[in-house]
Amino acid sequence: MNLTPQITPEQVRSLKVSNGRLVEKANKYQVSPAADRTYGGVVFDSKREMVIAQTLDVQKAAGLIKRIDRQVKYPMVVNGKHICTLIVDFKVLYQDGSVEAIEVKGFPTPVWKLKWALFKALYPETVLKVVK
């Protein structure tokens, strides 16, 4: 009879030694477990992003939104050279044809701020919305 508990490699990576005991590592971004961030079969990066997805789905069901795309890539090309790519959390196409890019951001990094500035310059027709 084997009494040794079976531990997966993922579980091992989530442990650390503190005061001579094994304890679970805290997530450096304080993100809740995946079960708390799952909606419609999708695991979101944060609860806030999940709530935005739920809100957009309600608006779509009400007929205000024509289409919602997740994790949309916007290439940043300047003078024919690809500089970087910004991936926004949601791209929303409204019934009137207007487009809105929605980014859910807990902590804006310097790199993200630069990408966002490039986005504003290269895609002026797209409304930008940051949810903090």
- Within-domain flag for 20: no
pLDDT for 37 equals 83
What's the predicted TM-score (pTM) here?
0.72
What does the pLDDT read at residue 108? 85
In a domain, 116, yes or no: yes
**pLDDT tens across the length of the chain (132 residues):** 555 556 666 555 666 666 666 655 555 455 556 778 889 888 888 899 999 999 999 999 999 999 999 999 999 999 999 999 999 999 999 999 999 999 998 888 999 999 999 999 999 999 989 998
Question: How many angstroms separate the CA atoms of 32 and 78, rounded?
Answer: 38
- Looking at the domain assignment, is residue 16 inside a domain? no
Instruction: Give a yes or no: residue 28 inside a domain.
Output: no
Query: What range defines the domain where residue 44 resides?
Result: 33-131
- Per DSSP (E only), the strands in 1-132 are 15-18, 21-24, 38-39, 42-43, 65-78, 81-94, 99-104, 127-131
Whether 21 is covered by a domain: the verdict is no
Q: Are 30 and 36 in contact (CB under 8 A)?
A: no
Q: In whole angstroms, what is the distance from residue 48 CA to residue 71 CA? A: 15
Q: Report if residue 2 sits inside a domain.
A: no
Asked if residue 24 is part of any domain, the answer here is no
pLDDT at residue number 78: 95
Given a contact cutoff of 8 angstroms between Cβ atoms, the answer to whether 15 and 25 are in contact is yes
Question: Is residue 105 one of the residues assigned to a domain?
Answer: yes
For residue 66, the domain's CATH number is: 3.40.1350.10
pLDDT on residue 106: 82
3-state secondary structure 24-35: ECCCCCCCCCHH
User: In total, how many domains does the chain have?
Assistant: 1
